Amino acid sequence: MAWVILIASGVLEAVWASALAASEGFRRRRPTMVFVVALVASMGGLALAMTELPTGTAYAVWVGVGATLTVVWAMITRRERASTARILLLLLLVASVIGLKVVS
C-alpha cells in the first residue's frame, strides 16, 4: 500500500509543479489554490509512505515520478520541446525508478 501512496504522491508532485508555473508567481488564484492543495497532499503522502519504505528510496521514487510527469506534461502542452535525447533520458529516469523499487 505504501508504494501506491508514494506513486500517487509523485503524481501530485507533478500537479503542484505545473500549477506553480501556471500561477505566474502566485498572481493567479485558481492555479495557486491547486498548488497549495496538491503540495500538502503530495508531502503528506510522501511522509506516510516513508513510514514503511526506506527514506532514500521513497524520496528518489517520488522525485522521479514527479519530475518525469512534469516534463511529459510540459511536452504535451508544448511548453517544452520534445526531442529524442529528452525522451531517452526520461525513459532512463523511469527505468531507474523501477530499478529502485525492484531492489528495495
The residue segments making up the domain with residue 31 are 2-103
Question: What is the count of structural domains for the chain?
Answer: 1
pLDDT confidence of residue 101: 79
pLDDT in tens, 1-56: 999 999 999 999 999 999 999 999 999 999 999 999 999 999 999 999 999 999 99
Taking the C-alpha atoms of residue 93 and residue 104, their distance in angstroms, rounded to an integer, is 17
pLDDT in tens, 49-93: 999 999 999 999 999 999 999 999 999 999 999 999 999 999 999
Taking the C-alpha atoms of residue 13 and residue 102, their distance in angstroms, rounded to an integer, is 22
Which residue do the cell numbers 523511469 mark?
94
Taking the C-alpha atoms of residue 14 and residue 101, their distance in angstroms, rounded to an integer, is 20
CA 36 to chain centre: 15
